[in-house]
Homo-oligomer: A and B are copies of this chain.
Amino acid sequence: MAIGASKEEATSRRIRLGMVGGGQGAFIGAVHRIAARLDDQYELVAGALSSDPARAKASAKDLGIADDRAYTSFEEMAKAEAARPDGIEVVSIVTPNHMHAPAAKAFLKAGIHVICDKPMTLTVDEAKELVDLVQSSGKIFALTHNYTGYPMIRQARAMVAAGELGEIRLVQAEYPQDWLTERAEATGSNKQAEWRTDPARTGAGGCIGDIGTHAYNLACYVSGLELDELLAQLSTFVEGRKVDDDVQILLKWKGGAKGMLWASQVAVGNENGLKLRVYGTKGGLEWTQADPNYLWFTRFGEPKQLLTRNGAGAWAEGTRVSRVPGGHPEGYLEGFANIYTEAARAIHAARDGSPVDPAVNYPTVQDGLVGMQFIQAAVASSAAGNVWTKVG
C-alpha cells in the first residue's frame, strides 16, 4: 500500500470504562490504558487501581478519574458503578493472576462487560465457572491475549483458514526471554519478578502461565487446530525460585499435526522472542513478534515472500486492524489496542442491539479456559515425570 487514508472510526460514542489494578508503578495497567485510548473508543471513568487507599486516590487523580469513582475494592466498585446511571459499561482487570477470577465474577454478576488479562484464572475449575457465568450473563468477555491483535497474525490465520498452506503438519511456537536469568525476585526491588514467581499470585505455573500460554494461544489462533495431547518438561534453573522458568513441550494436535513449544525466561539474549512457524502440505509461514510487520510466506517450490503489513500482498483481515501505511511500523501497543477496539465493536453492537460484524474477533472466555487446560496439563505432565497427557 502506498500512502493512503489512515483508518479511524467515529469516536463520539466512547464506552465508559473502569479498571481494577494498574495503579502507579504497575506495568500492564498503563499498557491497557494506552490500548484503550489509541482508537478513542473508551473513556476511563472509574477505577479500583490499588487496595492501598492513598495509592488508589493518587493514581485515579493522575488519570483524571473523579474522586468519588476511585475505589479501593473491586466489590465496592462493581456495586457502586452498577447503581449509577452513568456507571461503567466495561471493566478492565489488570491485577496479578489470582484476582482475575474473583473480580471478573463480581462485574459479570453486576451486569458489566469484562476485559481481563491472561492467564484468565488460577485453575481450570475457576475457568469453567467463568465460562458458565459469561454464558448465563450474556455479557461480553474479552481476554487480552494481545498477540492475536497483530495485523500479520490476523493475516496468517486467514491464510491458513483459506488453505494457502494446505493441510497443516507442523506448528512450532517459541517464546524465549531472559529477564529472570538471575534471581530478580530476591533483590527486593523488582515487583514484577516478585509476583510473577510467587505461586500464590501467579498460579501453579510460572513461565508456562506467563508466556507459555501466550505462545500456545497464538499457535491455536493461527493454525485453527485443537490440541490433543502434550508432554512437558518444566524446569526451574534458578536456585530458590518457586516456579518454572523454562518450559519445553511436545504437542500432538488433533488431526495428526505435530509441534513443539518452548518458553523460557532464562535464555540470555532474548528480550521477548515470541515466534510462530506453521508448515503445511503446500506452504509455510513464519512470524516474529519483535518484527511484527513482516510475515514470511513460502509456497512449496516458489521463492520466499516477505509480506508486509498494509503492503503488497496484505490481506483484508490484517489491513482491517491496521492504522498506517506499509513501511510505517506498528508495534505492541497497536496490537494490544486491536483487542480493545475489537471488544469495543462488540460492545457498541450490544449497546445498540445490532449484530456484530462477523469479522470482529478477540480472545474469549472459551480461549481462557483452553489456556488454563493447557497450563494444567503441562504442569501435570511435568510433575508425573514428563509423560503424555491429554488436554481438556
Contacts and interface: CB of A to CB of B under 8 A. Distances in A.
A225 interface: no
Nearest to A7: B30
A360 interface: no
Contacts of A170: 246, 264, 266-267
A51 interface: no
B237 A248 contact: no
Contacts of A193: 2-3
B303 A284 contact: no
A62 B10 CA distance: 4
Contacts of A135: none
Interface stretch (A103-111, A322-330, A348-356, A363-371): A322-330
Interface stretch (A78-86, A112-120, A198-206, A274-282): A274-282
A303 B313 contact: yes
Q: How many copies does the complex hold?
A: 4
Nearest to A3: B192
Chain A, interface size: which category? Answer: 35 or more
Contacts of A385: 388
A312 B301 contact: yes
A246 B323 contact: no
A223 to B, nearest CB: 14
A319 interface: no
A178 interface: yes
Interface stretch (A33-41, A123-131, A137-145, A372-380): A33-41
7 tightest CB-CB pairs across the interface, nearest first? A271-B327, A272-B327, A2-B179, A269-B298, A303-B313, A6-B30, A268-B284
23 contacts: A2-B192, A3-B179, A5-B26, A6-B30, A8-B30, A40-B63, A40-B64, A169-B237, A169-B266, A172-B262, A177-B327, A246-B258, A268-B280, A269-B279, A269-B284, A271-B308, A292-B329, A303-B311, A303-B313, A304-B308, A305-B305, A328-B332, A333-B334
